[in-house]
């Protein structure tokens, strides 16, 4: 009997040591091997192939500082947790080359130094957010400035990204959800840009009255921050150099000749990318200073060129009940005029269609006197509408009389029956030349002598082009007090920033990028919210269940265990 007890002790000790060894081995393996299964329908926790490839090919450490540490409301904690989970997933593929920390900017610093540090964050591109936070042990709320953003550094260069995305018309949970959906794109794109030894070259076209002053300041400044930018005079230059990754036309006001269009056409045939911001009618915010004006055709003569590529900018103005405001005198109080912001249907707020990564999860885009854009049926060109009007809009054919007095009258909804009128279109495919069968041998020889390239009747590769029926989308207001504002800001309502800059940068990036990182913008997270009515009605029942079921389960387990124990030792 004694031998049997010793054997049992020995076996028990061996089993215990074996279990401990397995547990230690699993923990050691877990430190080096990681894996998980993404069971969400939308693959919420799965990185895109382009992101994984980017991280695996890092050749130097990427340091990331995230400014989302502290006692925040639930929404910001959720954003912080989602950011941490994403960066931990980045580490699975980037290894030691991905290093991140979470910081509370300005903590433990004197007020003067904290202010200076926060100013430096804003100068680097991190936008602050004014948050009301409940103070510890108090019922009162205090205002607190937070910086929901991150700084990414790589080989002495840095990029700043903002993690919180405001979206007008969406409830906070939906806006937060869209912010989480864009996290992978923002971090991956920032790292990709830092990796590039040479930034893409973008050409700003001149020669047809394009603006160069303060009203285009923010667009050019934004371009210079992320791209190489140079000007091209279409009239004086013999051709458009192929070194330009993309070119942009912004509100030309003078007629394009066949010679001008041939230069554009052959640039496109040789793989060049173009983005057009066209105002076909002579309507502008400056014209409103005269109160009434008539918007006429500018006579740009671009219809045949754009038609050949698959689009047409119409001679009209889009009006929309979903519109921005304009200050208007609505009466007088004593001898002082009473000014109020009034919606102005000629200032539509366009809705992103979410049909493409350029506009996925994007806010409304502010516009001024926009033209509608039609797509041409047929051909091998793929057309994608990027921006469109709301479901309550209309189109006025040119010439159009514009008067501020009409704003004082309440618009009749029955006049606004059009819906989803396109104003920005992406064209993709092998573009055909407008000049096929139109140039003689001598003209083709002269073209080749000037550009060093033979005439092409059709593009060799898949090309990209974006046509926008409003140049004011990338224009900026100029304040007498603060100078040029950023695009997407109404100087009479500067607290809200529309998504004009995001649309502009996404468009340029899509035209110039050579990787599919932008596809990560297509990620869409599904909100799985509780039915608040059911929660309210069944609150007591579920509280009882949550309290009673665990205790009941423990008691049941104890009774069963005691019964088995009694049966075992009773015999």
Q: What's the pLDDT tens digit per position in 116-164?
A: 887 888 888 787 877 766 555 555 566 677 888 999 999 999 999 988 8
Under a CB-based contact definition with an 8 Å cutoff, are residues 424 and 467 in contact? Answer: yes
What per-residue confidence (pLDDT) applies to 124? 82
Q: For residues 371 and 281, what is the distance between their CA atoms, to the nearest angstrom? A: 8
3-state secondary structure of 180: helix
- Residue 1 predicted with pLDDT over 50: no
Confidence of residue 481 (pLDDT cuts 50, 70, 90): confident
Q: Which residues pair with 275 in a beta bridge?
A: 248, 466
Confidence of residue 358 (pLDDT cuts 50, 70, 90): very high
Contacts 24+ apart (CB under 8 A), 20-26: none
Show the 3-state SS of 182-220: CHHHHHHHHHHHHHCCCCCEEEEEECCCCCCCHHHHHHH
Report which of 211, 313, 296, 305 is spatially closest to residue 256, judged by C-alpha positions. Answer: 305
Under a CB-based contact definition with an 8 Å cutoff, are residues 305 and 434 in contact? Answer: yes
What per-residue confidence (pLDDT) applies to 525? 57
Report which of 451, 131, 456, 546 is spatially closest to residue 270, judged by C-alpha positions. Answer: 456
Mean pLDDT of 386-412: 89
Which DSSP state fits 319?
Answer: E
Q: For residues 303 and 238, what is the distance between their CA atoms, to the nearest angstrom? A: 23
- Residue 533 predicted with pLDDT over 80: no
- Residue 571 predicted with pLDDT over 60: no
What per-residue confidence (pLDDT) applies to 43? 59
- Kindly state the greatest CA–CA separation across the chain: 114
Q: What is the pLDDT of residues 448-462, one digit of tens each?
A: 998 889 999 999 899
Q: For residues 245 and 463, what is the distance between their CA atoms, to the nearest angstrom? A: 11
Contacts of 405 (CB under 8 A, 6+ apart): 291, 292
36, 188, 260, 424 from 55: Cα distances, Å: 18, 8, 44, 34
**Higher local confidence (pLDDT), 117 or 486:** 486
Report which of 203, 315, 322, 212 is spatially closest to residue 264, judged by C-alpha positions. Answer: 203
3-state secondary structure of 151: strand
What per-residue confidence (pLDDT) applies to 41? 54
Confidence of residue 34 (pLDDT cuts 50, 70, 90): low
**Higher local confidence (pLDDT), 151 or 355:** 151
What per-residue confidence (pLDDT) applies to 42? 52
3-state secondary structure of 420: coil
**Higher local confidence (pLDDT), 3 or 474:** 474
% of the chain at pLDDT higher than 90? 49
What per-residue confidence (pLDDT) applies to 307? 96
Segment among 66-80, 126-140, 218-232, 361-375 with least mean pLDDT: 126-140
Report which of 463, 474, 470 is spatially closest to residue 264, judged by C-alpha positions. Answer: 463
Confidence of residue 502 (pLDDT cuts 50, 70, 90): very high
3-state secondary structure of 251: coil
Write the Ramachandran bin of 357: left for phi over 0, alpha for psi from -120 to 50, otherwise beta.
alpha
**Higher local confidence (pLDDT), 227 or 341:** 227
Q: To 5 degrees, how large is the angle CA 52–CA 58–CA 61?
A: 120
Report which of 315, 384, 316 is spatially closest to residue 354, judged by C-alpha positions. Answer: 384
Helix (H) or strand (E) holding 26, with range, is: helix 2-32
What per-residue confidence (pLDDT) applies to 6? 67
What per-residue confidence (pLDDT) applies to 535? 60
What per-residue confidence (pLDDT) applies to 377? 87
3-state secondary structure of 466: strand
What is the chain's mean pLDDT, rounded? 85
């Amino acid at each position: 009997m004694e031998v049997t007890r010793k054997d049992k002790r020995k076996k028990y000790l061996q089993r215990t040591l074996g279990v401990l060894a397995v547990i230690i081995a699993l923990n050691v393996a877990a430190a080096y091997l990681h894996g998980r299964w993404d069971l969400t329908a939308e693959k919420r926790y799965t990185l895109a192939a382009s992101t994984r490839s980017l991280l695996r090919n890092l050749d130097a450490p990427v340091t990331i500082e995230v400014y989302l540490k502290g006692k925040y409301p639930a929404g910001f904690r959720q954003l912080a947790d989602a950011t941490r989970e994403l960066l931990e997933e980045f580490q699975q593929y980037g290894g030691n080359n991905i290093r991140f920390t979470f910081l509370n900017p300005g903590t433990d610093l004197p007020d003067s130094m904290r202010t200076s540090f926060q100013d430096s964050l804003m100068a680097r591109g991190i936008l602050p957010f004014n948050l009301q936070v409940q103070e510890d042990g108090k019922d009162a709320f205090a205002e607190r400035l937070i910086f929901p953003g991150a700084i990414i550094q790589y080989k002495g260069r840095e990029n700043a990204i903002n993690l919180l995305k405001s979206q007008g018309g969406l409830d906070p949970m939906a806006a937060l959800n869209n912010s989480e959906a864009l996290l992978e794109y923002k971090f991956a794109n920032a790292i990709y840009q830092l990796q590039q030894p040479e930034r893409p070259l973008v050409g700003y076209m001149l020669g047809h009255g394009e603006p160069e002053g303060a009203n285009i300041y923010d667009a050019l400044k934004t371009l210079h921050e992320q791209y190489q930018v140079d000007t091209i005079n279409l009239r004086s230059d013999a051709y458009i150099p192929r070194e330009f990754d993309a070119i942009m036309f912004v509100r030309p006001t003078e007629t394009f000749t066949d010679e001008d269009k041939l230069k554009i056409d052959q640039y496109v045939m040789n793989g060049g990318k173009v983005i057009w911001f066209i105002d076909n009618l002579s309507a502008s915010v400056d014209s409103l200073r005269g109160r009434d004006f008539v918007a006429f055709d500018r006579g740009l003569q671009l219809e045949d060129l754009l038609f050949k590529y698959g689009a047409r900018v119409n001679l009209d103005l889009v009006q929309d009940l979903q519109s921005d405001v304009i200050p208007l005198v609505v009466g007088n109080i004593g001898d002082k005029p009473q000014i109020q912001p009034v919606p102005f249907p000629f200032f539509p707020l366009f809705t992103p269609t979410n049909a493409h990564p350029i506009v996925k999860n994007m806010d409304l885009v502010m516009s001024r006197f926009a033209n509608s854009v039609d797509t041409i049926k047929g051909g091998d060109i793929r057309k994608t509408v990027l921006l469109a009007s709301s479901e309550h809009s209309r189109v006025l054919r040119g010439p159009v009389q514009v008067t501020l007095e009409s704003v004082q009258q309440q618009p009749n909804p029955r006049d606004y029956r059009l819906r989803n009128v396109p104003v920005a279109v992406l064209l993709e495919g092998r573009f055909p030349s407008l000049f096929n069968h139109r140039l003689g041998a001598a003209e083709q020889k002269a073209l080749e002598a000037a550009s060093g390239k033979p005439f092409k009747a059709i593009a060799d590769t898949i090309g990209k082009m974006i046509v926008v029926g409003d140049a004011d989308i990338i224009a900026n207001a100029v304040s007498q007090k603060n100078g040029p504002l950023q695009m997407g800001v109404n100087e009479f309502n500067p607290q809200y920033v529309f998504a004009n800059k995001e649309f502009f940068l996404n468009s340029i990036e899509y035209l110039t990028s050579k990787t599919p990182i932008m596809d990560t913008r297509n990620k869409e997270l599904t909100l799985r919210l509780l039915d608040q009515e059911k929660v309210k009605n069944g609150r007591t029942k579920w509280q009882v269940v949550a309290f009673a079921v665990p205790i009941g389960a423990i008691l049941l387990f104890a009774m069963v265990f005691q019964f088995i124990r009694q049966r075992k030792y009773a015999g």
